[in-house]
Chains A and B, each alone.
Chain A
Amino acid sequence: MSPLAKTLEIRTSPHVLSGHAVDTIMFNVVLALLPASAFAVWAFGLAGLLTLTVAVLSCVATEWWMCRLSRRVSTVADWSAVITGLLYGLTLPPTLPLWMTALGGFLAIAAGKWLFGGLGYNAFNPALVGRALLQASFPVAMTTWSAGFLPDRFRAVPAVLWTPPFLEPVLDATTGATPLAAWKFERVAASARDLAFGFTSGSTGETSALLILFGGAYLVARNMMNWRIPVALLLTVGAISGVLHAVDPTRYASAPFMLLAGGLALGATFMATDMVASPMTSLGCVIYGVLIGALVIVIRTWGGMPEGVMYAILLGNAVSPQIDALIRPRVYGTRRARTS
């Protein structure tokens, strides 16, 4: 039979595609998170490893279950639940009881993602939704931090991780205030060098700002992240805190401290940039970044909590649709952009 006898496949143009696919983008985000995750394990040992593992597994398992419940094509293989799990795990204190970690992972996917309709419909970053719900439920456990680089971190798992559900967690490990809390309550500023390299206490993966930014740079180079969001966000935080510090150095922390401490690097790079929950136009992304940056300063400086990145990003997520509705590029050949 001639090769031309075969039936032709008819499709509409374009007949070639760029090759970018949702799962390749998501997989690359996972890759970009690996350096920070590896550092988390190195800094916090078995506690870090267990926290991240349970976070990822609970998210992926919930995703699988939700796909089954909704009778949709399974989205487990698209890596998006792994990202949520990793990001969520990286924001947790390394001494959080594992049952809480698992509960938060379930909430991140179930309430943060599937309540809104699953992949592509989450109005908020699911990882932060999970963390916010945990913070509201277990404020003490979520703000108890152990110091990193304990000598026996690879030999023993802190007993607090195995706390049975609904029992009061008992800390046996050395606890330490995070740099932001130390500043807020005692006016002690950690050195920028320690902050940049991650030799401070804090959530599992937020401590090494440099490794986080390195992962972000990789995604920007692959055109898988809108660089305008982290740049606008970090510049805003740097600028405002720089001005405040110049006005009164005893009351306001310096710009390098504000930029490198806490969850800002992780949040600005990997969470504010959640494609679904951030604006689509370039100008919109800049506005969104500036807004979150300003909120971070406001919450950290004048709010009751030492850290404000999570709520700042969630608030930014909330107004992202409005930013998109207001900022519409002018369509070619029309006088000015029409707003609805």
Chain B
Amino acid sequence: MGLLGLKTFRHGVHPPEHKTETSALAIRQFPFADPLVVPLSQHLGKPAVPIVREGQEVARGQCIARPDGFVSVAMHSPASGIVRKIALAPGGGGRMIPSVFIQPFPGSTQEVAEGKPCPVDADPDAIVAAIQAAGVVGLGGAAFPTHVKLKIPEGKHVDTLIINGVECEPYLTTDHRVMLQQRDDIYEGIRYLLRVCGAQRAIIGVEANKPDAAEHLRQGLPADLPAEVAVLRVKYPQGAEKMLITALLGREVPSGGLPLDVHAICVNVATTAEIGRLLPRGRGIHERVITITGPAVAKKGNYRIPIGTPLRYLLEQAGVTGDVSRVFLGGPMMGQAASTLDQPITKGTSGVVAFDEPSAQRSARPVYPCIRCAYCVDACPIFLDPSTLGALARNGEYDRMAKEFHLMDCFECGSCSFVCPSHIPLVQQFRVAKAAVRKAGAPK
């Protein structure tokens, strides 16, 4: 429990929210780009295997790639059109990713091809398969295949399903809008999820900066749905799975463990809504809701956008003011900077934030030595010592960082870098260190 009697976790930070710029704007449909570039690897796990060939006509919503094994999901065509080619296209982090290029038909409609419905009272295994076939991944940004975490191993049980409507990243309002506009889809999704994971109850966690969403969800709750809405104190990174579980249930996910170890499962609210919307009609994810915002964007707003829309087209449609200097996918705390505007929107992209400030403004911030102010120590939600970790990282003592200072528990929320008055790129140092430790053979 925190101040005002609202639940929360300990530590964390309060970045400026910038949410009111888009939170009142209803979701609008985004036009089709030409071409749409659908990467075959938009999720954690193995890339999907294309089942279409070049020159083939596809319908909007048609499955164009099948999952390759269990930790993989299907892909669906975002528009009715022609498969132009299957080739490498720029993805996140500067990598080239095999992608399906689709040229939409002129005047391509919003009609969607539908497949075999999966009723809510189906066998749990059938629901898991249907979620995989629908290409559902965590829409909050992690893009982890949802069906994988719903598959409860023998001997484990889940008592609480947590629906993550926290949306703690600044600027983003997609989950907020989804909660206001897709209430019934969310309830339906909860029914599917409860049936699959066997939990007795569901809690929808919403931060106190979205009182309208919390109230809306609470009022419409069907009497037979064992769900409740919990309002949380506003704090970053409350949307992180571990922090949310601690805030709501007072349980700590063990180091190196999963929410399952404390009998909880956490699913993003937009993911839940998609499950509730797609499964009854046998559809797949071929579009998603994103927030397009930032100081450089003229027409800020929330859009239902086809997967595979290139950033350049997106920004041209939304309109930009001044020189766009930085574009990032996801929120500004954990989102990735776009390396090129040819990069497409994927299932894990929850927002596009564009900045236009002169680059001098940022590079004018010098990096000072650590003055041991302990701001980072008070910010870290998992109680690491970022100051000492940073000093060790500078000396390349990665092994010691992992063994003595719990480096591998860092989930890179960026709170330490955010508060650091010396502007030390702490979280980036930890990313590098973690990669080095993993390469050397991860210690326990």
What residues make up the interface of A, taking CB atoms closer than 8 Å to B? 3-4, 6, 8-18, 20-22, 24-25, 73, 75, 78, 117-121, 226, 275-276, 278, 280-282, 324, 328-334, 338, 340
Contacts of A331 in B (CB 8 A): 255, 382-384, 406, 409
In B309-340, the 8 Å CB interface with A consists of 312, 315-316, 320-328, 332-340
Contacts of B417 in A (CB 8 A): 13-14, 17
**Cα(A11)–Cα(B377), bound, Å:** 24
Contacts of A24 in B (CB 8 A): 421
Partner of A121, one of B323, B339, B369, B427: B369
Closest to A334 in B: B255
- Is the beta-carbon distance between A12 and B427 smaller than 8 angstroms? yes
Closest to A224 in B: B373
- Is the beta-carbon distance between B418 and A4 smaller than 8 angstroms? no
**Cα(A4)–Cα(B375), bound, Å:** 37
Contacts of B13 in A (CB 8 A): 18
- Is the beta-carbon distance between A333 and B257 smaller than 8 angstroms? yes
Partner of A333, one of B242, B328, B336: B242
* Interface residues in B, total, Cβ within 8 A: 73
- Is the beta-carbon distance between A281 and B377 smaller than 8 angstroms? yes
Measured between C-beta atoms, what is the minimum distance from A232 to chain B in Å?
15
Partner of B371, one of A16, A276, A282: A276
- Is the beta-carbon distance between A4 and B341 smaller than 8 angstroms? yes
- Is the beta-carbon distance between B337 and A8 smaller than 8 angstroms? yes
**Cα(A328)–Cα(B380), bound, Å:** 13
What residues make up the interface of B, taking CB atoms closer than 8 Å to A? 13, 15-16, 170, 242, 246, 252-257, 312, 315-316, 320-328, 332-341, 353, 355, 359, 362, 365-366, 368-375, 377-378, 381-385, 387-388, 404, 406, 409, 412, 414, 417-423, 425, 427-428, 431
**Cα(A170)–Cα(B332), bound, Å:** 65
**Cα(A119)–Cα(B373), bound, Å:** 12
- Is the beta-carbon distance between B409 and A21 smaller than 8 angstroms? no
- Is the beta-carbon distance between A12 and B383 smaller than 8 angstroms? no
- Is the beta-carbon distance between B371 and A120 smaller than 8 angstroms? yes
Query: Do A14 and B255 contact each other (CB < 8 Å), given the known contacts A25-B421, A276-B371, A330-B383?
Result: no
- Is the beta-carbon distance between B335 and A15 smaller than 8 angstroms? yes
**Cα(A20)–Cα(B320), bound, Å:** 29
Contacts of A328 in B (CB 8 A): 385
- Is the beta-carbon distance between B421 and A21 smaller than 8 angstroms? yes
Given contacts A4-B341, A332-B409, 14 further A-B contacts (CB under 8 A): A3-B323, A9-B326, A10-B338, A11-B337, A15-B328, A15-B333, A15-B335, A16-B332, A17-B423, A18-B418, A75-B368, A119-B371, A276-B371, A334-B409
- Is the beta-carbon distance between B414 and A13 smaller than 8 angstroms? yes
**Cα(A281)–Cα(B373), bound, Å:** 10
- Is the beta-carbon distance between A8 and B15 smaller than 8 angstroms? no
**Cα(A14)–Cα(B337), bound, Å:** 10
- Is the beta-carbon distance between A18 and B15 smaller than 8 angstroms? yes
Closest to A6 in B: B323
Measured between C-beta atoms, what is the minimum distance from A57 to chain B in Å?
23
Measured between C-beta atoms, what is the minimum distance from B294 to chain A in Å?
10
Contacts of B332 in A (CB 8 A): 13-16
**Cα(A10)–Cα(B369), bound, Å:** 23
Contacts of B370 in A (CB 8 A): 120
Contacts of B252 in A (CB 8 A): 332-333
Task: Pick 15 A–B contacts, CB within 8 A, sort by A.
Answer: A4-B316, A10-B338, A13-B332, A21-B422, A22-B368, A25-B421, A118-B369, A120-B368, A276-B371, A282-B378, A328-B385, A331-B409, A332-B409, A333-B254, A340-B404
